[in-house]
Amino acid sequence: MNLSAIYHRSTGSDCYALDNDTVVLNLHTAYDVEQAYVVSENPFLNELERTPKWEGKCREMKRCLELEHSVIWTIELRPAYKRLQYYFIVEAKGESFCLFENKLCAPEERDTISTEFFKFPWINPADVIKPPAWVRDTVWYQIMPDRFCRGKDAPADEKFRVWGDFSDPHWNDLYGGDLRGIRERLPYLSGLGVSGLYLTPIFLSNTNHKYNTFDYYTIDPDFGSEDDLKALVKDAHKLGIRVMLDAVFNHCGTEFFAWKDVCENGRHSRYFDWFFINRDDFLKDDFTTADGRYYTFSFWSPMPKLNTNNPQVRRYFTELCLHWARDYGIDGIRFDVGDELSHLFLRELRTALKRENDEFFLLGEIWFDSVGWLGGDEYDSVMDYPFTGALGDFWRDDSMDARALHRRLNFCRSLYPRQVNEVMFNFLDTHDTPRVRDTCDSDDVLLQKLAVLMTFSGTPCLYYGTELAMRGEKEPFNRGCMPWDEIAEGKFDSFRDKVAALIGLRRAQPDLKRDEMTFEYDDALPRLVRYRKGEVTVVINAGDTAAELTPEGKTLFANLYDGERLLPEGTAIFLGK
């Protein structure tokens, strides 16, 4: 037995409260383990029963997730008195071992040295991770306002390029998209099936992306006014669409009032400690800060890093977020560079926002394993880049089979508690990545990826234009203008209707929102991806050979499927037991 692979820690996704009565335990082992058990009970049971030795009840665990080199076993327990003490037993080829917190040993060695049991001390309702319920049912749509739509009554301005003209584009071009334009296109988004809008920054700045914010209280005039935002949120809500703004609190722009004061007064500025300034000559005229004179986003001098450890900074941005929530009526905030904000700030901010609205949604931009931010006291969810990477690798590497994809997706699911998995922010592309169509051989392959996105646990997000198979590999090409004239001409109707159908399935089938999924493999067709979620079966042919496929109940969605054969690059989704 591979003893070094046996692992459990009574925290994070290994041990957590699923609700006010249920504790989930997960145990990691190698593939050679044939069965796993947990021995558990109330830690004070022997005192209650007046027995000299604590003895728990042994329960069989379920083999839950297969990863690349390991297996995860799971069990749900409902401790009668909210407390839990436990240890594990693993068996393989006639061998048996016990895993305690402080040792892994043979059963007969259990009492030879001091034994420390694992413990879940108490299910405190306040500590149970409870993301907003509405997020689980949301289909998001990310918009860069400058590139989505210019309002029909917007005044002409020579600083804006001709809409859609991407001849010799530059990273700082302006096209004049605004909040009124987004508002005018709400019926389009509602018809697509979108139920949540994520807007990249809209506050005062001198760039088209606004990630170098000058004034967090002033909407950039290029985008409109406070009244425009309020009207957008109000109209979106009437259509059942939530609205999430982008918060850039890791860094600011050079015209932010506090930074300007520091530049004028140096160490004498009352805002000096709002930033991380390491030298008196920090105002050196150099775009890069690789010399360490002050900290910035990456090494870009126009984006000085804010000190969210400072109580004044924390207070300023907490009051700002409360203003956004109260006065604009928004439903959530996405935090740019969310991994570099102080945990102290995030906990304080969450407490304030949840006190204002316990259904408010906090999303962090983090590109890696984020369990340290998802304990229920900071973010509700993060952007699931590991999921995006798993799909990208599978369609990029023909040597990967369906089992390998399954294990990569299982890795994503293994990182967090189940209720977090159900609200993970999943996507195929964003303004920071190549457009997903540029990573696909065809529109049909893009539909395959979209089918996985819409049937995987978590909350899916489309980058504007993905429903049209828009192209664009690198910035600024991945930030093109929405082609409204061509949309009106019907150029994209066929593809967009298929995307809308997938979104409709997502919203109509409760099983698709569950975290559980069961894969089935075909050794003769190694790249035939087939999995079940409840009564829904998803089949995707990522190989180069047609697959004989008998309909399994009602056909919910079909592309390159004739009722008998699923062609290469084809997708079919069925409903039925």
Question: In sequence order, what DSSP letters do the residues of 462-486 get, joined into one string?
Answer: EETTGGGT----STTGGGPPP-HHH
Place of tokens 């694992």: 118
* Other CB atoms within 10 Å distance of the CB of residue 157: 10
Mean of the per-residue pLDDT values for the chain? 96
Reported as a single tens digit per residue, the pLDDT across 202-254 is 999 999 999 999 999 999 999 999 999 999 999 999 999 999 999 999 999 99
> Chain centroid to CA 14: how far?
20
Reported as a single tens digit per residue, the pLDDT across 360-412 is 999 999 999 999 999 999 999 999 999 999 999 999 999 999 999 999 999 99
The whole-number average pLDDT for the span 137-142 is: 98
Reported as a single tens digit per residue, the pLDDT across 544-576 is 999 999 887 899 999 999 999 999 999 999 998
- pLDDT of 48 reads 73
Task: Report the C-alpha gap between 184 and 480 in whole angstroms.
Answer: 19
Catalytic residue among 365, 380, 444, 467: 365
* Other CB atoms within 10 Å distance of the CB of residue 370: 24
Lowest-confidence segment of 59-63, 282-286, 491-495, 541-545 by average pLDDT: 282-286
Nearest to 317, CA basis, from 336, 295, 300: 336
C-alpha distances out from residue 489 to 18, 262, 434, 472, 493, Å: 50, 53, 26, 22, 9
Reported as a single tens digit per residue, the pLDDT across 446-475 is 999 999 999 999 999 999 999 999 999 989
Percentage above 90 pLDDT, the chain: 94
Whether residue 152 is predicted with pLDDT greater than 90 in this model: the reply is: yes
Nearest to 550, CA basis, from 532, 566, 567, 571: 566
Catalytic residue among 14, 146, 220, 336: 336
First to last CA, the chain: 38
What amino acid is encoded at 133 in this protein?
Answer: A
- pLDDT of 341 reads 98
476: cis peptide before it, omega within 30°? Answer: yes
Tokens of 513: 């929102």
Whether residue 25 is predicted with pLDDT greater than 70 in this model: the reply is: yes
- pLDDT of 52 reads 76
Whether residue 55 is predicted with pLDDT greater than 90 in this model: the reply is: no
Nearest to 178, CA basis, from 220, 213, 136, 141: 220
- pLDDT of 474 reads 86
Tokens of 262: 């520091």
Whether residue 500 is predicted with pLDDT greater than 70 in this model: the reply is: yes
The whole-number average pLDDT for the span 427-453 is: 98
Helix (H, G, I), strand (E, B) or coil at 574: strand
Tokens of 75: 């069990």
To the query of whether residue 429 is one of the catalytic residues in this protein, the response is no
- pLDDT of 384 reads 98
The whole-number average pLDDT for the span 144-158 is: 94
To the query of whether residue 336 is one of the catalytic residues in this protein, the response is yes
**Under 8 Å between Cβ of 541 and 417:** no
Task: Report the C-alpha gap between 448 and 496 in whole angstroms.
Answer: 14
> Chain centroid to CA 439: how far?
20
Lowest-confidence segment of 4-13, 110-119, 244-253, 407-416 by average pLDDT: 110-119
Angle at alpha carbon of residue 144, lines to 140 and 150, rounded to 5°: 115
Tokens of 546: 């047609």
Q: Is 283 exposed, middle or buried (0-12, 13-18, 19+ CB in 10 A)?
A: middle
- pLDDT of 550 reads 85
**Structural domains present in the chain:** 3-127 (2.60.40.10), 137-242+332-513 (3.20.20.80), 251-306 (3.90.400.10), 518-575 (2.60.40.1180)
Alpha helices in 283-342 (DSSP H): 311-323
Sign of CA dihedral 275, 277, 280, 281: negative
Angle at alpha carbon of residue 145, lines to 491 and 198, rounded to 5°: 95
Reported as a single tens digit per residue, the pLDDT across 181-209 is 999 999 999 999 999 999 999 999 999 99
- pLDDT of 577 reads 67
Reported as a single tens digit per residue, the pLDDT across 69-95 is 999 999 999 999 999 999 999 999 999
Percentage above 70 pLDDT, the chain: 100
**Under 8 Å between Cβ of 79 and 49:** no
Whether the pTM exceeds 0.85: the reply is yes
Provide the strand spans (E) within 346-407. Answer: 361-364, 381-382
Q: Is 374 exposed, middle or buried (0-12, 13-18, 19+ CB in 10 A)?
A: buried
